[in-house]
Structure 1
Amino acid sequence: MLEFKYDTQLLIEGKNLDEDVISEYFTENFKGDCLLAVGDDELIKIHFHTNEPWKVLEYCASLGEIHDIVVEDMDRQARGLQG
């Protein structure tokens, strides 16, 4: 059984984005692992494993426009089912 069920990936498009600030917010406010927050001040790629992807989406949407959103159920994938 996986500790964190959902692989959550998306892009944030905005102005004055800071990957360090975003990473720190994730670390302090969300339970999860495998955090990746990379990009520049206008586009950030997020990858995060969590049990509460809706919280990630809500926070990221507060920073700018979010798109290319993928939320995959890794538990289903591990059992050979569609994610």
Structure 2
Amino acid sequence: MLDFKFDTQLLIEGQGLSEDDIDAYISQHFAGDCLLAVGDEELIKIHFHTNEPWKVLEYCASLGEIHDIVVENMERQAEGLSG
């Protein structure tokens, strides 16, 4: 059984983005693991395992335009099913 069920990935496009600020906010406000927030001031890639991906998406959408969103159910993948 996985502690965090959903692999959540997306891009945030905006102005004045900070990977350090985004990383810190997600780490402090959402339960999860395997967080990556990489990019520059205009484009950040997020990767995060969580049980509440909709909360991460809502936060990221408050920072800029979000796109290339992928939310995969890793428990289904582990069972050989489509994620």
Q: Indicate the residue corresponding to 1:38 in structure 2.
A: 38
Q: Indicate the residue corresponding to 2:71 in structure 1.
A: 71
Gaps of 5+ in 1: none
Q: Indicate the residue corresponding to 1:23 in structure 2.
A: 23
| CA–CA distance in structure 1, aligned partners of residues 60 and 28 of structure 2 | 15
1:63: how far off? 0.1
SS at match of 2:21: helix
Q: CA offsets, 1:13-37, max 9 Å, x none?
A: 0000000000000111000000000
Identity of aligned residues (%): 78
1:52: how far off? 0.1
**1:64 aligned partner, one-letter code:** G
Q: CA offsets, 1:28-56, max 9 Å, x none?
A: 10000000000000000000000000000
TM-score, length basis structure 2: 1.00
Gaps of 5+ in 2: none
Aligned positions, number: 83
Q: Displaced runs of 4+ in structure 1, greater than 3 A?
A: none
